[in-house]
Amino acid sequence: MNREGIIQELKFKAVRSSGAGGQHVNKVSSKVELTFDLENSMALTDIEKNRLLRKLSTKISKENILIMQCEETRSQHKNKELVIKKFLDTLEASLTVPKRRRKTKPSRSAIEKRLKSKKKAALKKVNRSKPKLD
């Protein structure tokens, strides 16, 4: 993954933030909206693009554009930094290939320990019952 190349392909748009905030919020566009065209990106390989399309399918629009936004702080610059960090973290998390699970057999001692605990629990339950009067 080419971080610098991806950052150069990002497009930003400043939008008015939602929610309460008084007079100032009506004048300032502090919310930052990041868009990234996944299909036409030159910084990603085809394999990476396919993996991202699969993993981030809920966050991608029909035109294969990834849209993220941030309105955590009052500062537009801080929001821009935060949304870039969030975007890169999301990309890295979706591009990591999970390690294949190797099947293992439980050890003999683990099997014996499990069976002993089962026997103990069974005896405990048997001892709870009323004694037979023969």
Instruction: Note the pLDDT tens digit of each residue in 31-49.
Output: 999 999 998 989 999 999 9
Please tell me the predicted confidence (pLDDT) of residue 19: 72
Q: Which residues are bridge partners to 60 per DSSP?
A: 66
Q: Which amino acid is at 46?
A: D
**Number of Cβ atoms within 10 Å of the Cβ of 40:** 11
- Give the residue from 7, 1, 2, 78 showing the smallest Cα distance to 36: 7
User: Could you tell me the pTM of the whole model?
Assistant: 0.71
Please tell me the predicted confidence (pLDDT) of residue 131: 82
Distance CA 37, CA 60 (A): 9
Domains detected in the chain: 3-95 (3.30.160.20)
Residues of the chain scoring pLDDT < 50: none
Please tell me the predicted confidence (pLDDT) of residue 12: 94
Rg, Å, the chain Cα set: 28
Please tell me the predicted confidence (pLDDT) of residue 94: 92
